Amino acid sequence: MRMRQFSRSLPMALLRAREAVMAEFRPILAAHDITEQQWRVLRALVDEPDGLGVGQIAELTFLLGPSVSRIVAALQARGLVDRSGVDHDGRRAVLTVTKAGMRLYESIAPASESAYQRVEERFGPRQLEQLYRLLEQLTASQRTSADSS
């Protein structure tokens, strides 16, 4: 799936609504000195208290692995994320949220949930589910292209 096909298949109204909501939400993130991508990674980690590997975070956030590694490094440097151990194979680091990360999450989460609810109320969960499926397909396509390069 190419980006052009992807953007045509998404309802432009949904994209505009998401952008309008994010325009309101970005100042909240900026006030906490966190980017949208860092917020997505932090949310994914909070939702998995046992921790996640970089690959798992990439899948959940629709971000590419190298980007996730840089984002995690930035969050780790701020003391928001910890490499708390290794997975059951003993090969991959398991990332978890620190207490400072939880405090940051708890201070931003209400505004985040409100933003997501406004988009969902306008378009409904079914259209959003379709959007997420399309994002998954695009992410898989990008990974396949990156792997074959």
pLDDT in tens, 94-123: 899 999 999 999 999 888 888 777 767 766
Nearest to 115 by CA among 3, 39, 64: 39
- In this prediction the pTM is 0.68
99 assigned to some structural domain: yes
37 assigned to some structural domain: yes
Count up the domains in the chain and report the number: 1
**Cβ within 8 Å of residue 139, ≥6 positions away:** 59, 62, 64
Whether the pLDDT of residue 31 is over 90: the answer is yes
73 assigned to some structural domain: yes
Residue 105 domain boundaries: 3-143
* pLDDT interval class at 142 (50, 70, 90): low
149 assigned to some structural domain: no
79 assigned to some structural domain: yes
104 assigned to some structural domain: yes
148 assigned to some structural domain: no
74 assigned to some structural domain: yes
pLDDT in tens, 38-87: 998 999 999 888 888 888 888 888 787 778 889 999 999 999 999 876 65
